[in-house]
Homo-oligomer: A and B are copies of this chain.
Amino acid sequence: MLDMKSVEVSAPATIANLGPGFDVVGLAIENYRDVVHIELTDDKVISFEIVNNTSVAVASKAEENSAVISALKVMEYSGVRKGFKMKLVKNVPVGIGLGSSGASAAAAAFAMNILLSGKLPMEVLVKSAGEGEKVACGAPHLDNVAPSLYGGFTMILDVEKPEIFNIKPSVDFSIVLVTPRVSLPRNKTEYARSLLPKKVELETMVKQTASLTRLIVGLMSGNLEMVGRAISSDFVVEPARSIMIPRFYEVKEAALKSGALGFTISGAGPSVFALTYPEDAENILYEVLRKFNENDIEAKGIVAKPSWIGARIEEH
């Protein structure tokens, strides 16, 4: 990989939080991938072009885009300062809880590291992408950028200095992903955070940690039922944020009744997701959409698969 002048990298969308894993556990989703092409230049000029395949506007100024800032952070940690031309192809839907800016930041960090001889370890790329995200969006969302980079499920073991544990259970599963059309304030992520309680009762924290324990044990042992039950048992975030999703608990009940192993809000919402055995996925998707529609809420959804690779070079 030495002496590469340009590279194209893609990184997947993600589902953060996973119920009791708020800000800690995330999952990469293969179906949407942002693509970043970077070419190093000998001047110190940065040029940035964006091709937006999503339906929502994204930060098109270089100094406001998470991908550019993430790439600059990788340069900073590598002790290099060159110019670059970046082209970002946005495919991950924006603002619906799928870690869109995190995917851009992850792809950019991965790409720039390759161009600088791949010296930084993955955890520093997580840090770089998180810092990029923070400048661009106000918060680092490590539980988004980490799965975008690693693929599979990732866990943040230390909030202050990124330490990641990555796991790819050897069981096949699908994710039913549904986005209801709801009108939310422009800065949706900030709004979603403002819904959260500032403080949590100690007793509630204990219930949450028991549920998180089930989630981690389930992931480590590849027990999908355990993972599902844990995802469905969030005592802090789901109760607070579900108010922005009309009929949330009815929809959740419909999903669980039709075979979902677990169901909750994806990231900051308003998308919701079900963890499911592949054979039940289409039926669950149908039931979730039906329940939203029955209540006059427009919604669209897909059956998604986990991304086991995370960020990767795109060959041409």
User: What 1/0 mask marks residues of chain A from 157 to 188 whose CB sits below 8 Å from any chain B CB?
Assistant: 11110010100000000000000000000000
Chain B CB within 8 A of A37 CB = no
Question: A155 is contacted by which of B205, B213, B233, B236 (Cβ under 8 Å)?
Answer: B213
Give which listed residue, B201, B220, B236, contacts A221 with CB less than 8 A: B220
User: Could you say which of A25, A200, A201, A210 has the most chain B C-beta atoms within 10 Å of its C-beta?
Assistant: A210
Flag if B22 contacts A214 (CB, 8 Å): no
Separation of A29 and B182 alpha carbons in the complex (Å): 54
Given contacts A200-B199, A206-B159, A209-B21, contact A217 B216 (CB under 8 A): yes
- Tell whether A1 is near chain B: CB-to-CB under 8 Å: no
Q: Judging by beta carbons under 8 Å apart, are A157 and B200 in contact?
A: no
* Chain A 121-157 near chain B by CB (<8 Å), digits 1 or 0: 0000000000000000000000000000000000111
In the assembled complex, the Cα of A178 lies from the Cα of B212 at a distance in Å of: 30
Q: Which B residue's beta carbon lies closest to that of A158?
A: B210
A316 close to chain B: CB less than 8 A? no
Interchain CA distance A287-B23 in the complex, whole Å: 38
Q: Once bound together, how far apart are the Cα atoms of A80 and B209, in whole Å?
A: 36
Encode contact with B along A21-43: 1 for CB under 8 Å, 0 otherwise: 11111000000000000000000
A202–B201 touching, CB < 8 Å:
no
Whether a CB of chain B sits under 8 angstroms from the CB of A278 is: no
**Smallest CB gap from A165: residue in B:** B217
Q: Does A300 contact B (CB under 8 A)?
A: no
Tell whether A155 pairs with B217 under 8 Å between CB atoms, given A199-B199, A200-B200. yes
Flag whether A264 is at the interface (Cβ < 8 A).
no
A198 within 8 Å of B (CB atoms):
yes
A97 interfacial by beta-carbon distance below 8 Å: no
Given the known inter-chain contacts A199-B200, A205-B208, A207-B159, please indicate yes or no for A213 contacting B25, CB distance below 8 A: yes
Contact across chains for B22 and A210 when beta carbons are under 8 A apart: no
CB of A196 within 8 A of chain B? yes
> What's the minimum C-beta distance from A141 to chain B, rounded to whole angstroms?
12
Q: How far is the CA of A226 from the CA of B210 in the complex (A)?
A: 19
From B157, B202, B207, contact of A217 by CB (8 A):
B157
Contacts of A22 in B (CB 8 A): 206, 209
Within 8 A of B (CB), among A221-246: 221, 226, 233, 236
Contact across chains for A165 and B213 when beta carbons are under 8 A apart: yes
Least CB distance, A163 to chain B, in whole angstroms: 8
Minimum Cβ distance to chain B for residue A306 (Å): 19
| Contact A24:B201 (CB < 8 A) given known A165-B217, A220-B221 | no
A202 touches B199 (CB 8 A): yes
Check A157 against B196 for contact (C-beta < 8 Å): no
A118 at the interface (CB under 8 A from B): no
Q: Cα distance A196–B206 when bound, in Å?
A: 13
The residues of B that contact A207 with a CB separation of less than 8 Å are: 159-160
Q: Which residues of B contact A214 (CB under 8 A)?
A: 157-158, 163, 165
* Chain B min CB distance to A193 (Å): 9
